[in-house]
A and B are shown apart, each in its own frame.
Chain A
Amino acid sequence: MRRSAIRDKAAIVGIGQTRFARTLEASEYEMAVEAIWNACEDAGISPRQIDGVVRYDIEQIDEEQLLSVLGNPHLRFFSATSWGGGGSASVLVVAAAAIAARLAETILVYRARARGKRSSYGPGKHQGGRYWEKIPNVLPGPNQWHVPHGLVAAFQEMAMISMRHRIEYGTTDDQYADVAIAFRYHASRNPAAVMRTPITREDHHRSRMVSDPLRLLDCNIETDGAVALLVTSVERARDLRQPPAVIHAGAMAAGSHHIRLPTFFERPFEEQSPVRVARELFAQADCRREDIDCAFFYDFFTSMVILALEQYGFAPRGEGGPFVENGGLQWPRGRLVCNTNGGQLSEAFIHGFNNTAEAVRQIRGTSTSQVPDCEFVLVAGANTDPTGAVILRRL
Protein backbone atom coordinates (compact mmCIF):
# COMPACT_ATOMS: atom_id res chain seq x y z
CA MET A 1 0.00 0.00 0.00
CA ARG A 2 1.25 3.45 -0.94
CA ARG A 3 0.05 6.32 1.20
CA SER A 4 -1.05 9.17 -1.04
CA ALA A 5 -0.95 12.73 0.23
CA ILE A 6 -4.69 13.18 -0.34
CA ARG A 7 -5.65 10.13 1.67
CA ASP A 8 -8.36 10.91 4.25
CA LYS A 9 -7.57 14.64 4.10
CA ALA A 10 -10.83 15.95 2.62
CA ALA A 11 -14.49 15.10 2.95
CA ILE A 12 -17.76 15.86 1.22
CA VAL A 13 -19.85 17.65 3.80
CA GLY A 14 -22.69 19.14 1.80
CA ILE A 15 -24.84 17.86 -1.05
CA GLY A 16 -27.44 19.87 -2.88
CA GLN A 17 -29.51 19.35 -5.96
CA THR A 18 -32.42 20.74 -7.90
CA ARG A 19 -35.44 18.83 -8.98
CA PHE A 20 -34.60 16.54 -11.91
CA ALA A 21 -36.88 16.52 -14.96
CA ARG A 22 -36.77 16.06 -18.69
CA THR A 23 -37.13 19.80 -19.08
CA LEU A 24 -37.03 22.49 -16.42
CA GLU A 25 -37.87 26.12 -17.01
CA ALA A 26 -34.85 27.36 -15.09
CA SER A 27 -31.58 28.31 -16.77
CA GLU A 28 -28.39 26.43 -15.99
CA TYR A 29 -27.28 29.46 -13.95
CA GLU A 30 -30.41 29.41 -11.81
CA MET A 31 -30.14 25.65 -11.35
CA ALA A 32 -26.48 25.88 -10.36
CA VAL A 33 -27.30 28.48 -7.72
CA GLU A 34 -30.22 26.47 -6.36
CA ALA A 35 -28.06 23.36 -6.00
CA ILE A 36 -25.21 25.35 -4.42
CA TRP A 37 -27.50 27.01 -1.89
CA ASN A 38 -28.98 23.62 -1.02
CA ALA A 39 -25.51 22.16 -0.53
CA CYS A 40 -24.55 25.06 1.74
CA GLU A 41 -27.75 24.64 3.74
CA ASP A 42 -27.08 20.92 4.03
CA ALA A 43 -23.56 21.52 5.34
CA GLY A 44 -24.33 24.55 7.47
CA ILE A 45 -21.83 26.63 5.53
CA SER A 46 -22.44 30.10 4.07
CA PRO A 47 -21.81 30.57 0.34
CA ARG A 48 -19.45 33.39 1.40
CA GLN A 49 -17.17 30.79 2.97
CA ILE A 50 -16.49 29.04 -0.31
CA ASP A 51 -12.86 29.69 -1.23
CA GLY A 52 -12.34 27.15 -4.00
CA VAL A 53 -14.20 25.96 -7.09
CA VAL A 54 -13.60 22.90 -9.23
CA ARG A 55 -15.85 22.49 -12.22
CA TYR A 56 -16.25 20.34 -15.29
CA ASP A 57 -14.66 21.95 -18.33
CA ILE A 58 -17.96 21.47 -20.17
CA GLU A 59 -19.75 23.50 -17.51
CA GLN A 60 -21.37 26.63 -18.91
CA ILE A 61 -21.51 28.55 -15.64
CA ASP A 62 -18.00 29.75 -14.83
CA GLU A 63 -16.27 31.03 -11.70
CA GLU A 64 -16.91 34.68 -12.54
CA GLN A 65 -20.63 34.16 -12.79
CA LEU A 66 -20.61 32.28 -9.51
CA LEU A 67 -18.52 34.85 -7.67
CA SER A 68 -21.04 37.48 -8.58
CA VAL A 69 -23.72 35.65 -6.62
CA LEU A 70 -21.70 34.06 -3.82
CA GLY A 71 -21.17 37.39 -2.08
CA ASN A 72 -17.79 37.92 -3.73
CA PRO A 73 -15.84 35.49 -1.58
CA HIS A 74 -12.08 35.33 -1.81
CA LEU A 75 -11.54 32.46 -4.20
CA ARG A 76 -8.12 30.97 -3.55
CA PHE A 77 -8.29 27.95 -5.81
CA PHE A 78 -10.08 27.16 -9.05
CA SER A 79 -9.70 24.43 -11.61
CA ALA A 80 -11.59 22.43 -14.20
CA THR A 81 -11.35 18.78 -15.16
CA SER A 82 -11.64 17.59 -18.69
CA TRP A 83 -13.63 15.11 -20.73
CA GLY A 84 -17.17 15.49 -19.57
CA GLY A 85 -18.28 12.39 -17.73
CA GLY A 86 -14.70 11.18 -17.66
CA GLY A 87 -13.94 14.05 -15.31
CA SER A 88 -16.94 13.55 -13.06
CA ALA A 89 -14.99 11.91 -10.25
CA SER A 90 -11.74 13.71 -11.12
CA VAL A 91 -13.29 16.94 -9.80
CA LEU A 92 -13.20 15.32 -6.35
CA VAL A 93 -9.59 14.22 -6.79
CA VAL A 94 -8.61 17.78 -7.66
CA ALA A 95 -10.64 19.20 -4.79
CA ALA A 96 -9.06 16.75 -2.34
CA ALA A 97 -5.58 17.62 -3.64
CA ALA A 98 -6.23 21.33 -3.16
CA ILE A 99 -7.52 20.75 0.37
CA ALA A 100 -4.56 18.52 1.23
CA ALA A 101 -2.20 21.20 -0.11
CA ARG A 102 -4.07 23.81 1.94
CA LEU A 103 -4.73 25.88 -1.16
CA ALA A 104 -8.36 26.23 -0.09
CA GLU A 105 -10.57 25.18 2.77
CA THR A 106 -14.08 24.97 1.34
CA ILE A 107 -14.34 23.85 -2.24
CA LEU A 108 -17.46 23.89 -4.33
CA VAL A 109 -17.85 21.19 -6.97
CA TYR A 110 -20.90 21.26 -9.20
CA ARG A 111 -22.59 20.48 -12.47
CA ALA A 112 -25.64 22.20 -13.93
CA ARG A 113 -27.08 20.76 -17.08
CA ALA A 114 -29.97 21.86 -19.25
CA ARG A 115 -30.83 19.91 -22.33
CA GLY A 116 -34.27 21.51 -22.38
CA LYS A 117 -34.67 23.59 -25.49
CA ARG A 118 -35.86 26.67 -23.65
CA SER A 119 -33.33 26.67 -20.90
CA SER A 120 -30.21 26.37 -22.98
CA TYR A 121 -29.87 27.06 -26.66
CA GLY A 122 -33.16 28.02 -28.21
CA PRO A 123 -36.31 26.56 -29.70
CA GLY A 124 -35.06 24.97 -32.93
CA LYS A 125 -35.36 21.26 -33.53
CA HIS A 126 -31.61 20.88 -33.57
CA GLN A 127 -30.77 23.46 -30.95
CA GLY A 128 -30.95 21.28 -27.87
CA GLY A 129 -28.25 21.04 -25.29
CA ARG A 130 -26.37 18.19 -26.93
CA TYR A 131 -22.89 19.22 -27.89
CA TRP A 132 -22.82 17.02 -30.95
CA GLU A 133 -25.74 18.86 -32.49
CA LYS A 134 -23.47 21.88 -32.71
CA ILE A 135 -20.62 20.21 -34.56
CA PRO A 136 -19.28 22.73 -37.08
CA ASN A 137 -19.29 21.78 -40.75
CA VAL A 138 -15.55 22.39 -41.12
CA LEU A 139 -13.41 19.95 -39.20
CA PRO A 140 -9.70 20.67 -38.75
CA GLY A 141 -9.37 18.55 -35.57
CA PRO A 142 -9.52 14.87 -34.68
CA ASN A 143 -13.25 14.60 -35.32
CA GLN A 144 -12.51 14.86 -39.06
CA TRP A 145 -11.65 11.14 -38.87
CA HIS A 146 -15.11 9.97 -37.90
CA VAL A 147 -17.75 12.70 -38.12
CA PRO A 148 -17.79 12.79 -41.95
CA HIS A 149 -18.72 9.09 -41.86
CA GLY A 150 -21.72 9.72 -39.63
CA LEU A 151 -20.21 8.89 -36.26
CA VAL A 152 -21.31 12.05 -34.52
CA ALA A 153 -22.37 11.21 -30.97
CA ALA A 154 -20.98 9.54 -27.88
CA PHE A 155 -23.67 6.88 -27.96
CA GLN A 156 -22.52 5.75 -31.40
CA GLU A 157 -18.90 5.54 -30.28
CA MET A 158 -19.93 3.62 -27.18
CA ALA A 159 -22.05 1.36 -29.37
CA MET A 160 -18.94 0.40 -31.35
CA ILE A 161 -17.00 -0.31 -28.17
CA SER A 162 -19.97 -2.33 -26.88
CA MET A 163 -20.21 -4.29 -30.14
CA ARG A 164 -16.55 -5.25 -29.91
CA HIS A 165 -17.12 -6.48 -26.36
CA ARG A 166 -19.96 -8.68 -27.66
CA ILE A 167 -17.77 -9.98 -30.47
CA GLU A 168 -15.03 -10.99 -28.07
CA TYR A 169 -17.07 -12.19 -25.09
CA GLY A 170 -20.58 -12.91 -26.26
CA THR A 171 -22.20 -10.35 -24.01
CA THR A 172 -25.98 -10.51 -24.50
CA ASP A 173 -29.09 -8.36 -24.68
CA ASP A 174 -30.32 -10.17 -21.55
CA GLN A 175 -27.26 -9.00 -19.65
CA TYR A 176 -27.83 -5.43 -20.81
CA ALA A 177 -31.42 -5.79 -19.59
CA ASP A 178 -30.20 -7.01 -16.19
CA VAL A 179 -28.39 -3.69 -15.69
CA ALA A 180 -31.36 -1.60 -16.86
CA ILE A 181 -33.84 -3.54 -14.72
CA ALA A 182 -31.72 -3.27 -11.56
CA PHE A 183 -31.19 0.46 -11.87
CA ARG A 184 -34.84 1.12 -12.71
CA TYR A 185 -35.79 -0.86 -9.64
CA HIS A 186 -33.57 1.40 -7.56
CA ALA A 187 -35.16 4.45 -9.18
CA SER A 188 -38.63 3.12 -8.35
CA ARG A 189 -37.63 3.47 -4.69
CA ASN A 190 -36.20 6.98 -5.12
CA PRO A 191 -38.73 9.85 -5.14
CA ALA A 192 -36.21 12.17 -6.85
CA ALA A 193 -35.83 9.88 -9.87
CA VAL A 194 -37.30 10.88 -13.23
CA MET A 195 -38.06 7.34 -14.47
CA ARG A 196 -39.70 5.36 -11.68
CA THR A 197 -41.80 2.72 -13.40
CA PRO A 198 -40.11 -0.68 -13.12
CA ILE A 199 -39.24 -2.37 -16.41
CA THR A 200 -39.12 -5.99 -17.51
CA ARG A 201 -36.75 -7.89 -19.73
CA GLU A 202 -39.38 -7.72 -22.48
CA ASP A 203 -39.65 -3.94 -22.09
CA HIS A 204 -35.93 -3.75 -22.63
CA HIS A 205 -35.86 -6.05 -25.65
CA ARG A 206 -38.83 -4.30 -27.25
CA SER A 207 -37.37 -0.82 -26.88
CA ARG A 208 -36.16 0.60 -30.17
CA MET A 209 -32.61 0.08 -31.34
CA VAL A 210 -30.78 3.40 -31.25
CA SER A 211 -27.32 2.40 -32.44
CA ASP A 212 -26.70 -1.35 -32.58
CA PRO A 213 -26.29 -3.01 -30.13
CA LEU A 214 -27.71 -0.25 -27.89
CA ARG A 215 -31.46 0.11 -27.41
CA LEU A 216 -33.31 3.03 -25.94
CA LEU A 217 -33.43 1.35 -22.52
CA ASP A 218 -29.65 0.91 -22.64
CA CYS A 219 -29.17 4.66 -22.72
CA ASN A 220 -29.07 7.30 -20.00
CA ILE A 221 -32.10 9.52 -19.81
CA GLU A 222 -31.85 13.13 -20.93
CA THR A 223 -32.59 15.46 -18.05
CA ASP A 224 -32.20 18.98 -16.74
CA GLY A 225 -30.92 19.61 -13.27
CA ALA A 226 -27.95 20.51 -11.12
CA VAL A 227 -25.96 18.93 -8.31
CA ALA A 228 -23.48 20.66 -6.03
CA LEU A 229 -21.12 19.29 -3.40
CA LEU A 230 -19.01 21.01 -0.77
CA VAL A 231 -15.63 19.58 0.08
CA THR A 232 -13.64 20.65 3.12
CA SER A 233 -10.86 19.38 5.35
CA VAL A 234 -11.57 16.35 7.51
CA GLU A 235 -10.63 18.30 10.66
CA ARG A 236 -13.25 20.92 9.91
CA ALA A 237 -15.74 18.31 8.72
CA ARG A 238 -15.94 16.85 12.23
CA ASP A 239 -17.67 19.99 13.49
CA LEU A 240 -20.21 20.32 10.70
CA ARG A 241 -23.83 19.30 10.46
CA GLN A 242 -23.56 16.05 8.47
CA PRO A 243 -21.56 12.86 8.79
CA PRO A 244 -18.63 13.46 6.41
CA ALA A 245 -17.97 11.30 3.38
CA VAL A 246 -14.20 11.15 3.54
CA ILE A 247 -12.28 11.05 0.25
CA HIS A 248 -10.13 8.07 1.11
CA ALA A 249 -8.40 7.52 -2.22
CA GLY A 250 -8.49 9.18 -5.61
CA ALA A 251 -6.83 8.67 -8.97
CA MET A 252 -6.93 9.95 -12.52
CA ALA A 253 -5.51 8.59 -15.76
CA ALA A 254 -5.31 9.92 -19.29
CA GLY A 255 -4.59 8.07 -22.47
CA SER A 256 -5.40 8.81 -26.07
CA HIS A 257 -9.02 9.55 -25.68
CA HIS A 258 -12.18 7.71 -26.54
CA ILE A 259 -13.51 10.00 -29.23
CA ARG A 260 -10.49 9.07 -31.29
CA LEU A 261 -11.72 5.59 -32.00
CA PRO A 262 -8.87 4.99 -34.44
CA THR A 263 -6.60 4.90 -31.40
CA PHE A 264 -8.94 3.49 -28.74
CA PHE A 265 -8.76 -0.03 -30.11
CA GLU A 266 -5.01 0.07 -30.57
CA ARG A 267 -4.38 0.17 -26.84
CA PRO A 268 -4.36 -3.05 -24.84
CA PHE A 269 -6.94 -3.45 -22.08
CA GLU A 270 -4.33 -2.97 -19.35
CA GLU A 271 -3.52 0.48 -20.70
CA GLN A 272 -7.07 1.76 -20.74
CA SER A 273 -7.46 4.69 -18.37
CA PRO A 274 -10.09 3.10 -16.07
CA VAL A 275 -7.83 0.07 -15.60
CA ARG A 276 -4.95 2.34 -14.65
CA VAL A 277 -7.20 4.35 -12.35
CA ALA A 278 -8.36 1.18 -10.57
CA ARG A 279 -4.79 -0.02 -10.11
CA GLU A 280 -3.73 3.28 -8.57
CA LEU A 281 -6.88 3.61 -6.47
CA PHE A 282 -6.56 0.24 -4.78
CA ALA A 283 -2.82 0.71 -4.34
CA GLN A 284 -3.64 3.80 -2.26
CA ALA A 285 -6.61 2.45 -0.40
CA ASP A 286 -7.02 0.73 2.91
CA CYS A 287 -9.61 -1.56 1.41
CA ARG A 288 -9.71 -4.27 -1.21
CA ARG A 289 -12.30 -4.68 -3.93
CA GLU A 290 -14.21 -7.12 -1.71
CA ASP A 291 -14.56 -4.39 0.90
CA ILE A 292 -16.43 -2.02 -1.41
CA ASP A 293 -19.99 -1.98 -0.05
CA CYS A 294 -21.58 -0.07 -2.89
CA ALA A 295 -20.31 1.21 -6.24
CA PHE A 296 -21.31 3.95 -8.63
CA PHE A 297 -20.30 3.39 -12.21
CA TYR A 298 -20.88 5.94 -14.93
CA ASP A 299 -23.99 4.40 -16.42
CA PHE A 300 -24.30 6.31 -19.67
CA PHE A 301 -25.05 2.90 -21.24
CA THR A 302 -25.81 -0.48 -19.71
CA SER A 303 -22.98 -2.05 -21.69
CA MET A 304 -20.45 0.39 -20.27
CA VAL A 305 -21.35 -0.64 -16.73
CA ILE A 306 -20.55 -4.22 -17.72
CA LEU A 307 -17.22 -3.09 -19.14
CA ALA A 308 -16.50 -0.99 -16.02
CA LEU A 309 -16.91 -4.05 -13.78
CA GLU A 310 -14.04 -5.61 -15.72
CA GLN A 311 -11.91 -2.47 -15.87
CA TYR A 312 -12.24 -1.89 -12.12
CA GLY A 313 -11.45 -5.53 -11.44
CA PHE A 314 -14.75 -6.68 -9.94
CA ALA A 315 -15.17 -9.23 -12.73
CA PRO A 316 -12.47 -10.95 -14.80
CA ARG A 317 -12.06 -9.68 -18.37
CA GLY A 318 -15.02 -10.76 -20.41
CA GLU A 319 -17.12 -11.78 -17.40
CA GLY A 320 -18.85 -8.50 -16.68
CA GLY A 321 -21.93 -9.84 -18.44
CA PRO A 322 -22.40 -12.93 -16.24
CA PHE A 323 -21.62 -10.74 -13.19
CA VAL A 324 -24.74 -8.61 -13.69
CA GLU A 325 -27.09 -11.57 -14.19
CA ASN A 326 -29.73 -12.53 -11.62
CA GLY A 327 -29.75 -9.14 -9.95
CA GLY A 328 -25.96 -8.98 -9.68
CA LEU A 329 -26.02 -5.19 -9.22
CA GLN A 330 -29.37 -4.94 -7.50
CA TRP A 331 -30.12 -3.80 -3.96
CA PRO A 332 -30.19 -5.39 -1.47
CA ARG A 333 -28.50 -8.70 -2.31
CA GLY A 334 -26.47 -8.11 -5.48
CA ARG A 335 -22.89 -9.28 -5.85
CA LEU A 336 -22.01 -5.59 -5.93
CA VAL A 337 -24.88 -3.19 -5.29
CA CYS A 338 -24.52 -0.33 -7.77
CA ASN A 339 -26.13 3.03 -8.54
CA THR A 340 -28.77 2.84 -5.81
CA ASN A 341 -30.34 6.14 -6.93
CA GLY A 342 -31.29 4.58 -10.25
CA GLY A 343 -28.20 6.02 -11.86
CA GLN A 344 -28.16 7.98 -15.06
CA LEU A 345 -30.22 5.28 -16.70
CA SER A 346 -33.21 6.13 -14.50
CA GLU A 347 -32.71 8.87 -11.91
CA ALA A 348 -31.18 11.69 -13.96
CA PHE A 349 -28.25 12.44 -16.22
CA ILE A 350 -26.18 15.15 -14.58
CA HIS A 351 -22.91 13.89 -16.01
CA GLY A 352 -22.36 11.49 -13.14
CA PHE A 353 -22.80 14.01 -10.37
CA ASN A 354 -26.19 12.74 -9.26
CA ASN A 355 -24.48 9.39 -8.70
CA THR A 356 -21.82 11.06 -6.56
CA ALA A 357 -24.48 12.73 -4.41
CA GLU A 358 -26.05 9.32 -3.87
CA ALA A 359 -22.67 7.85 -2.96
CA VAL A 360 -22.52 10.44 -0.18
CA ARG A 361 -26.01 9.43 0.98
CA GLN A 362 -24.84 5.82 1.18
CA ILE A 363 -22.00 6.91 3.47
CA ARG A 364 -24.46 8.94 5.54
CA GLY A 365 -26.91 6.04 5.69
CA THR A 366 -29.74 8.00 4.08
CA SER A 367 -30.23 6.33 0.68
CA THR A 368 -33.69 5.08 -0.25
CA SER A 369 -31.93 1.81 -1.05
CA GLN A 370 -29.45 1.87 1.78
CA VAL A 371 -26.71 -0.71 1.97
CA PRO A 372 -26.48 -1.75 5.65
CA ASP A 373 -23.34 -0.67 7.48
CA CYS A 374 -21.93 0.97 4.37
CA GLU A 375 -18.30 1.90 4.92
CA PHE A 376 -16.55 2.06 1.53
CA VAL A 377 -18.09 3.39 -1.68
CA LEU A 378 -16.46 3.55 -5.09
CA VAL A 379 -17.40 6.38 -7.46
CA ALA A 380 -16.05 6.14 -10.99
CA GLY A 381 -16.11 8.64 -13.82
CA ALA A 382 -17.11 7.57 -17.31
CA ASN A 383 -15.06 4.49 -18.15
CA THR A 384 -13.59 5.89 -21.31
CA ASP A 385 -10.36 7.88 -21.58
CA PRO A 386 -9.33 9.99 -19.70
CA THR A 387 -11.09 9.40 -16.42
CA GLY A 388 -10.84 9.27 -12.65
CA ALA A 389 -12.39 7.66 -9.59
CA VAL A 390 -12.53 8.00 -5.83
CA ILE A 391 -13.22 5.80 -2.84
CA LEU A 392 -15.32 7.44 -0.16
CA ARG A 393 -15.44 6.12 3.40
CA ARG A 394 -17.12 6.80 6.69
CA LEU A 395 -15.16 8.82 9.20
Chain B
Amino acid sequence: MAGEERSFVTRDIPLPAPTPDTAPFYEAARRGELRLQRCSDCGMFRHYPRPACPRCLSRRFGWERASGRGTVYTWTIVRGPTLPAFESKLPYNVVDVLLEEGVHFVSEVLDCKPEELYAGMPVEAVFVPVTDEITLVKFRKAQSSSAPST
Protein backbone atom coordinates (compact mmCIF):
# COMPACT_ATOMS: atom_id res chain seq x y z
CA MET B 1 0.00 0.00 0.00
CA ALA B 2 2.86 2.38 -0.76
CA GLY B 3 2.03 5.96 -1.54
CA GLU B 4 -1.26 5.93 0.32
CA GLU B 5 -2.09 8.98 2.36
CA ARG B 6 -2.17 8.34 6.09
CA SER B 7 -5.76 8.27 7.15
CA PHE B 8 -7.85 7.17 10.09
CA VAL B 9 -9.42 4.60 7.83
CA THR B 10 -7.33 1.75 6.51
CA ARG B 11 -6.97 1.17 2.80
CA ASP B 12 -6.34 -2.50 3.45
CA ILE B 13 -9.19 -4.98 3.62
CA PRO B 14 -10.17 -5.37 7.25
CA LEU B 15 -9.30 -8.95 8.19
CA PRO B 16 -10.38 -11.42 10.83
CA ALA B 17 -8.21 -11.77 13.91
CA PRO B 18 -8.57 -15.45 14.86
CA THR B 19 -9.38 -16.17 18.47
CA PRO B 20 -9.53 -19.55 20.23
CA ASP B 21 -13.21 -19.70 19.20
CA THR B 22 -12.50 -19.25 15.52
CA ALA B 23 -8.95 -20.53 14.95
CA PRO B 24 -10.11 -24.00 13.78
CA PHE B 25 -12.19 -22.35 11.06
CA TYR B 26 -9.23 -20.39 9.72
CA GLU B 27 -6.79 -23.29 10.05
CA ALA B 28 -9.15 -25.37 7.93
CA ALA B 29 -9.60 -22.57 5.39
CA ARG B 30 -5.82 -22.43 4.94
CA ARG B 31 -5.93 -26.11 4.01
CA GLY B 32 -8.76 -25.47 1.56
CA GLU B 33 -11.47 -26.90 3.78
CA LEU B 34 -14.70 -25.32 4.95
CA ARG B 35 -15.26 -26.53 8.49
CA LEU B 36 -18.28 -25.66 10.60
CA GLN B 37 -19.14 -26.27 14.19
CA ARG B 38 -21.55 -29.16 14.64
CA CYS B 39 -23.36 -29.98 17.85
CA SER B 40 -22.19 -33.35 19.23
CA ASP B 41 -25.59 -33.97 20.79
CA CYS B 42 -28.29 -32.86 18.35
CA GLY B 43 -26.13 -32.79 15.23
CA MET B 44 -27.08 -29.27 14.16
CA PHE B 45 -24.52 -27.25 12.24
CA ARG B 46 -23.98 -23.65 13.23
CA HIS B 47 -22.21 -20.60 11.87
CA TYR B 48 -20.79 -18.19 13.04
CA PRO B 49 -18.76 -20.11 15.66
CA ARG B 50 -20.04 -19.94 19.21
CA PRO B 51 -19.65 -21.96 22.39
CA ALA B 52 -23.12 -23.54 22.68
CA CYS B 53 -25.83 -24.97 20.46
CA PRO B 54 -28.77 -22.59 20.01
CA ARG B 55 -31.16 -25.52 19.55
CA CYS B 56 -30.31 -27.98 22.35
CA LEU B 57 -27.95 -25.81 24.45
CA SER B 58 -25.25 -28.48 24.41
CA ARG B 59 -21.74 -27.15 24.75
CA ARG B 60 -20.20 -30.22 23.12
CA PHE B 61 -19.29 -29.78 19.49
CA GLY B 62 -16.86 -30.73 16.79
CA TRP B 63 -15.52 -29.01 13.69
CA GLU B 64 -16.92 -30.93 10.76
CA ARG B 65 -15.98 -30.57 7.15
CA ALA B 66 -18.78 -29.04 5.08
CA SER B 67 -19.32 -29.85 1.41
CA GLY B 68 -18.74 -26.25 0.38
CA ARG B 69 -21.85 -26.46 -1.78
CA GLY B 70 -24.84 -24.23 -1.41
CA THR B 71 -27.21 -21.89 -3.17
CA VAL B 72 -27.56 -18.12 -3.27
CA TYR B 73 -30.24 -17.13 -0.77
CA THR B 74 -30.06 -13.38 -1.24
CA TRP B 75 -27.55 -10.81 -2.40
CA THR B 76 -26.79 -7.17 -3.05
CA ILE B 77 -24.63 -5.36 -5.55
CA VAL B 78 -22.65 -2.76 -3.64
CA ARG B 79 -22.25 0.37 -5.76
CA GLY B 80 -20.81 2.61 -3.03
CA PRO B 81 -20.05 4.25 -0.77
CA THR B 82 -17.90 1.62 0.85
CA LEU B 83 -14.61 1.36 2.71
CA PRO B 84 -11.55 2.63 0.81
CA ALA B 85 -10.25 -0.94 0.63
CA PHE B 86 -13.19 -1.96 -1.57
CA GLU B 87 -13.56 1.15 -3.71
CA SER B 88 -11.54 -0.21 -6.60
CA LYS B 89 -13.83 -3.27 -6.75
CA LEU B 90 -17.08 -1.30 -7.16
CA PRO B 91 -19.57 -2.53 -8.14
CA TYR B 92 -19.19 -5.86 -6.33
CA ASN B 93 -21.57 -8.49 -5.02
CA VAL B 94 -22.17 -9.69 -1.50
CA VAL B 95 -24.15 -12.90 -1.23
CA ASP B 96 -25.81 -14.88 1.50
CA VAL B 97 -25.21 -18.52 0.65
CA LEU B 98 -27.43 -21.18 2.16
CA LEU B 99 -25.03 -24.08 2.61
CA GLU B 100 -26.11 -27.70 2.18
CA GLU B 101 -25.60 -28.09 5.92
CA GLY B 102 -28.46 -25.64 6.51
CA VAL B 103 -26.51 -22.61 7.65
CA HIS B 104 -26.10 -19.21 6.03
CA PHE B 105 -22.70 -17.88 5.04
CA VAL B 106 -22.00 -14.33 3.86
CA SER B 107 -19.39 -14.06 1.13
CA GLU B 108 -18.90 -13.17 -2.51
CA VAL B 109 -19.40 -15.02 -5.77
CA LEU B 110 -16.20 -14.58 -7.77
CA ASP B 111 -16.20 -14.00 -11.53
CA CYS B 112 -19.91 -13.33 -11.61
CA LYS B 113 -21.56 -10.37 -13.29
CA PRO B 114 -24.30 -8.61 -11.29
CA GLU B 115 -27.00 -9.65 -13.75
CA GLU B 116 -26.00 -13.32 -13.47
CA LEU B 117 -26.93 -13.63 -9.81
CA TYR B 118 -30.25 -15.20 -8.92
CA ALA B 119 -31.90 -16.80 -5.92
CA GLY B 120 -31.19 -20.51 -5.85
CA MET B 121 -28.04 -20.24 -7.96
CA PRO B 122 -25.80 -23.24 -7.12
CA VAL B 123 -22.37 -22.22 -5.87
CA GLU B 124 -19.31 -23.91 -4.41
CA ALA B 125 -16.62 -22.70 -2.05
CA VAL B 126 -13.21 -21.56 -3.21
CA PHE B 127 -10.38 -20.55 -0.94
CA VAL B 128 -8.59 -17.26 -1.41
CA PRO B 129 -5.40 -16.73 0.61
CA VAL B 130 -5.08 -13.09 1.64
CA THR B 131 -2.24 -13.28 4.19
CA ASP B 132 -0.16 -16.14 5.62
CA GLU B 133 -2.75 -16.51 8.33
CA ILE B 134 -6.04 -15.62 6.67
CA THR B 135 -7.69 -17.44 3.79
CA LEU B 136 -11.15 -16.12 2.95
CA VAL B 137 -13.90 -18.50 1.89
CA LYS B 138 -15.41 -17.22 -1.35
CA PHE B 139 -17.76 -18.91 -3.82
CA ARG B 140 -18.02 -19.47 -7.54
CA LYS B 141 -20.75 -20.76 -9.81
CA ALA B 142 -21.00 -24.52 -9.24
CA GLN B 143 -18.75 -26.42 -11.64
CA SER B 144 -19.62 -29.95 -10.61
CA SER B 145 -22.79 -31.68 -11.72
CA SER B 146 -23.43 -32.80 -8.16
CA ALA B 147 -24.33 -29.29 -7.08
CA PRO B 148 -27.75 -29.11 -5.46
CA SER B 149 -30.60 -27.39 -7.22
CA THR B 150 -32.63 -26.36 -4.20
A residues sitting closer than 8 Å to B (CB atoms) are 121-122, 124-127, 132-140, 142-153, 156, 159-161, 163-164, 167, 208-214, 256, 260-266
Cα A247 to Cα B80 in complex, Å, equals 40
Indicate whether B15 reaches chain A with its CB closer than 8 angstroms: yes
Shortest distance from the beta carbon of A358 to any chain B beta carbon, whole Å: 29
Residues of A contacting B: mostly:
mixed
Shortest distance from the beta carbon of A81 to any chain B beta carbon, whole Å: 24
Contact present for B74 and A133 (CB under 8 Å):
no
Indicate whether B51 reaches chain A with its CB closer than 8 angstroms: no
Contact present for A262 and B119 (CB under 8 Å):
no
Contact present for A137 and B15 (CB under 8 Å):
yes
> In residues 18-59 of chain B, which contact A (Cβ within 8 Å)?
19, 22, 47-48, 54
Query: Which residues of the other chain, A, contact B96 by a CB distance below 8 angstroms?
Result: 160, 164, 261-262, 265
Query: Which residues of the other chain, A, contact B62 by a CB distance below 8 angstroms?
Result: none
Using A148-B136, A151-B106 as known contacts, say yes or no to A164 and B73 having CB atoms under 8 A apart.
yes
Cα A58 to Cα B47 in complex, Å, equals 27
Q: Which of B8, B22, B106 has the most CB of A within 10 A?
A: B106
Cα A213 to Cα B119 in complex, Å, equals 14
Cα A208 to Cα B11 in complex, Å, equals 25
- Residue of A121, A143, A144, A146 near B22 (CB, 8 A) is A144
Using A139-B14, A262-B106 as known contacts, say yes or no to A150 and B89 having CB atoms under 8 A apart.
yes
Query: Which residues of the other chain, B, contact A164 by a CB distance below 8 angstroms?
Result: 73-74, 96, 119
Contact present for B16 and A139 (CB under 8 Å):
yes
B residues sitting closer than 8 Å to A (CB atoms) are 7-10, 12-17, 19, 22, 47-48, 54, 73-84, 86, 89, 92, 94, 96, 98, 103-108, 114, 119, 130, 134, 136, 138
- List the 10 closest A-B pairs by CB distance, nearest first: A144-B16, A137-B10, A164-B74, A159-B76, A212-B77, A126-B9, A140-B17, A146-B106, A167-B119, A137-B14
Contact present for A134 and B77 (CB under 8 Å):
no
Contact present for A148 and B105 (CB under 8 Å):
no
Using A149-B106, A156-B94, A260-B48 as known contacts, say yes or no to A163 and B76 having CB atoms under 8 A apart.
yes
Query: Which residues of the other chain, B, contact A149 by a CB distance below 8 angstroms?
Result: 94, 106-108, 136, 138
Shortest distance from the beta carbon of B76 to any chain A beta carbon, whole Å: 4
